[in-house]
A and B are shown apart, each in its own frame.
Chain A
């Protein structure tokens, strides 16, 4: 697809995303639709999602940047503000959108959302309930789910056992987020 008809701003943003990616975030446009991006976000350090790598899709509508981009998790995630379909409850993706925001800032905000789930403004009500009733258990569950994601990711890529430090059974041990590898494998198998 040619660049013709694509607003200069989108081209610029894309170039910058490629040239200077935000840490833990990748975004690359589809060849056949430059408004459609494949996105991965690494779970932020110190969050229950630390060990996960999440796939998202991002689409820039016609009105962009006057209208916010559409962003959705493709990877399952156990998060009170993200529902089963991957839809995200984030104000800047809705009424707080400003054309001064960009793809990069949106994705950083999503990443930040993973660090700071907000069960008071839930999208997935059951997850929010879980978080409210027993935060640690909920976090542990989120972690297991995220780790299973990571497992998938690792199985499909070389060096499966490298950088084990990101795995919950090492560094997270102290934080009480320790999860049994078996559990992770179970979750992974059940998918």
Chain B
């Protein structure tokens, strides 16, 4: 707003060089001055012809500063106003100012003139005086007060006197409050007219209280003086009161005037030529903010300030604050100031518009196409059982802001002990983490606005008919919760060291390992509150050298991880560090040792101290926490340098034991590592913030007031605050993000996802349909009786049964059921045994049997035809009693048909019967391998039926093996019982396979994974229960993924394989059986997006229930 500084800044763009600025000042200043002068010609009448304001004002200062110069100096220094340097400016607003007579609190003249003098005296002092905490010049440097922020029209002011000649249209009027009458009279002597203005200022200035007393005294003064009086008077330039503002304007303007926030300059827009009492006056009011408006409000600590007002008793102070807040907000509303950024950016305060905003947000989530819709079970972070509060796209919105500046973040090399090579984005993460730990201002933070503040721009004053386009917009900031304003960028504060590392599949483990090795925290202060207290209490102890050692800064890192990942952490850390540079202790299970010993033993001077890392599980921590509450526990006695929570969403429920256990840890630095900081509710984040001790959000009431409640009230503010919080403590990159060079930060090989729609075999279809029909009947009944929500679990059980029926019919039959074939081993049958059996049973000769079986070999050339399909038998099945053969498919279908019709099952060729499925013998012709080009035939009992999905799986595995003889595949299913079947099928097909599920203990899990990863010339298949292995595991040795059933979270499961370290194309296959519940599950997954809208509208609970029932209806084909 000040041309004196502005033009140089423009010409020397990017230069802070004070001297240069100073040098050009005189010439440039003149140029601008004259241009302005020429445009605002009428002004010149009131100015000394060849003067600029600077010259004009300077002589005034000594006079004006009047009585207590010393105090001024002092005060101003204290208040950091020393950097103000440009009161001489004559911006448009400044110039127009002189046309008006400022009233209200006159302190601004003080503020303005005072530093100006400083500059005059010692221009270079500006730099020196810069507060060390600010790298940038304070915004107060370049803003002149009072500053125009807008105008409004009062159409119904009224006259309080009668008579004519007081005021006419277009007259300037003063708008003022009753101050002390003594003062009023003085003030009213001011502003006798434009030409006399300076003189007035001189006089008025003398009478003014010091800035300090202004600021400090005001809060006291205001509430004391008048509690109810809100009269705002209209006074002519000559000081005669002639009217008042109406009450609806006065209630807030009076507050603002009392509190020294604004100066109001009126102009009569319309008034009768002869005034009568009560006559209607139309006044347009220009609003100027005073410097004092930007002074810190003198109340308690900032942490406390934004508490919900109206809670408990309100102190006078709070009341004053509240009035100030509402007055300020009212002002902003009336003059139409809208924030550019921050809490209220883009949002009006009216209820209606808030709702529209809420709608917009839900639209946003609606219109934003889901990127991964083609993937089954997308909705990465959403689990069905927990409701569906936030969709993927909503989460994207939340994270977007935190990701905004990530591209050009700095990089940092890892310490020497770190053996792996970090990728660019990993170095960035290291840099980020390191600066968070060291408390350094990092690139991102400097740009983050404090969550409670909004950014505004001073509007250009339209007066004078031109807007100086060359002028940069000067922002100022408002805290809508407290009514505070400031010119200094309210940066997002951090008072915890650490943050949330939420990268997805980027090698979080490696990054943390690099951090541990690179930031040793050697410069941590030795004492801490607790130990210093202890020292005070036990001075003797502290003086003992032995104890002194304990007072070295904490250096050990504690990693808390899910049990399944403990070993992976230990391995990864050791793999990424030079030998003997780190000491990793897995502190878990029964044989966990004495932690103190572990942590202290190497603590001798002279040795290279290895970095100590303790890895434990959440479970161990919970039990230790219980122990610590009773007596003591080593984990809780130690102060850690750093605590890292892996899969930190494990403690998302703040009331859980796990959460409490992690909160209780003592640590200097805290990290939460998770791919899903928000699983599905905003509150999920709270627990992490609590762990991080990220004030003020780590207080639940605070989090609740500013995030949860606005969110529930459909106020987009909630999400915005979350965005801002995350911006300062969360790092989240995704695999598909681009680096500054526009390349993907992680070049992962492609991932090819196919969904194979399978058709049930007739028998399976029959079984499924009958189960479905009965379930549907049941459902309809319950529905008619209105018992849907009561019997919800019952229905869910039915659904589970249906889902199992899709996988394998045998999964739904009870043990005694005849169909529940229990496969015996691998079902291999010895050929000779078979001939023997045949000979025993029948009087037929062995010769026939031998011929038949010998003939099997010839069939390799395709000689024999199946009697049923008349085709060459691919997989011949032998009826053991008569040794007749058919294709496997043909005879099983035939037997199934017979069973369905209730007919006897007989050999199709000779009608010998009954024959049983499980008695049939399959002739397996192993595929030729490199060792054996003509492998022997194997006979195998047909006591295991492949379901449609199993058949497809086996088929695919064979297909893969034909091109990649040593492939690795991972098969996921939600049902461990189905994993049993898969394993049997793999057994029968002679595939090496491994099983990973929740029943394995840590050791066995570890050995399973190791065995699976071991090199081999044969294919290996790992069967994983989705619940046990959906997270954390690193299975990049495999590149084929089979999803056997629908699962909401399939994306994270796939990421086990498609992640950093994967160098092959990943093939993912989902098997879906057509016309089954699976297709409907897919529909529900798609529907989730639409549901988010509902989450914004209604309260969670009722929609949740309705929603579930809605889902059920889809399941049963109702909608």
Contact = CB atoms under 8 A, between A and B. Distances in A.
A98 B897 contact: no
B1068 to A, nearest CB: 32
A43 to B, nearest CB: 28
A156 interface: no
Interface stretch (B381-389, B471-479, B639-647, B863-871): B863-871
A12 interface: yes
Contact of B871 (A9, A63, A66, A67): A9
Interface stretch (B46-54, B162-170, B401-409, B904-912): B904-912
B894 interface: yes
A96 B868 contact: no
B893 interface: yes
A5 to B, nearest CB: 14
Contacts of A99: 867-868, 890, 894, 908
Contacts of A13: 870
Contacts of A122: none
A8 B867 CA distance: 13
Given A63-B897, A66-B893, A98 B869 contact: no
A117 interface: no
A19 to B, nearest CB: 14
Contacts of A12: 870-871
A9 B869 CA distance: 5
B903 interface: yes
A133 interface: no
Nearest to B900: A66
Interface in A123-176: none
Interface in A1-55: 7-9, 12-13
Contacts of A96: 911
A90 B1031 CA distance: 64
A98 B907 CA distance: 8
A55 to B, nearest CB: 27
B852 to A, nearest CB: 16
Contacts of A95: 903
Contacts of B909: 98, 100
Contact of B870 (A8, A63, A67, A98): A8
Interface string A56-86: 0000000101110000000000000000000
B897 A9 contact: no
Contact of A100 (B893, B897, B903, B908): B908
Given A66-B897, A95-B903, A100 B871 contact: no
Contacts of A100: 867-868, 886, 908-909
A102 B908 CA distance: 11
Contacts of A98: 906-909, 911
A99 B893 CA distance: 10
Given A63-B897, A95-B903, A9 B868 contact: yes
A54 B890 CA distance: 34
A31 to B, nearest CB: 23
A57 to B, nearest CB: 23
Interface string B230-264: 00000000000000000000000000000000000
Nearest to A96: B911
Contacts of B894: 66, 99
A13 B867 CA distance: 11
A29 B890 CA distance: 24
A174 B869 CA distance: 47
Interface in B837-888: 867-871, 886
Contacts of B867: 99-100
Contacts of B869: 7-9, 65
A12 B869 CA distance: 9
Nearest to B906: A98
Contacts of A65: 868-869
Contacts of B908: 98-100
Q: Residue among A9, A12, A66, A67 with the most chain B CB within 10 A?
A: A66
A63 B897 CA distance: 10
A8 B894 CA distance: 16
Interface string A83-95: 0000000000001
A95 B903 CA distance: 8
Q: Residue among B867, B871, B897 with the most chain A CB within 10 A?
A: B867
A14 B590 CA distance: 75
A143 B573 CA distance: 99
A67 B868 CA distance: 11
Nearest to B868: A99
Nearest to A92: B911
Contacts of B868: 9, 65, 99-100
Contacts of B897: 63, 66-67
B911 A9 contact: no
Nearest to A13: B870
A7 B869 CA distance: 8
Interface string B886-930: 100010011001000001001111010000000000000000000
Nearest to A7: B869
Q: Residue among A12, A63, A65, A95 with the most chain B CB within 10 A?
A: A65
A133 B897 CA distance: 42
Interface in B730-756: none
B866 to A, nearest CB: 9
A143 B908 CA distance: 36
A175 B867 CA distance: 40
Nearest to B903: A95
A7 B907 CA distance: 22
Contacts of B903: 95
A100 B909 CA distance: 5
B906 A8 contact: no
A100 B912 CA distance: 13
A67 B903 CA distance: 12
A70 B893 CA distance: 21
B923 to A, nearest CB: 18
A96 B796 CA distance: 45
A89 B909 CA distance: 22
7 contacts: A8-B871, A13-B870, A98-B908, A99-B868, A99-B908, A100-B868, A100-B908
Interface of A: 7-9, 12-13, 63, 65-67, 95-96, 98-100, 102
Interface of B: 867-871, 886, 890, 893-894, 897, 903, 906-909, 911
Given A99-B908, A100-B908, 6 more contacts: A8-B871, A63-B897, A95-B903, A98-B907, A98-B911, A99-B894
Q: List the 6 closest pairs (A to B, CB-CB), nearest first.
A: A100-B867, A100-B908, A99-B868, A98-B908, A12-B870, A66-B897
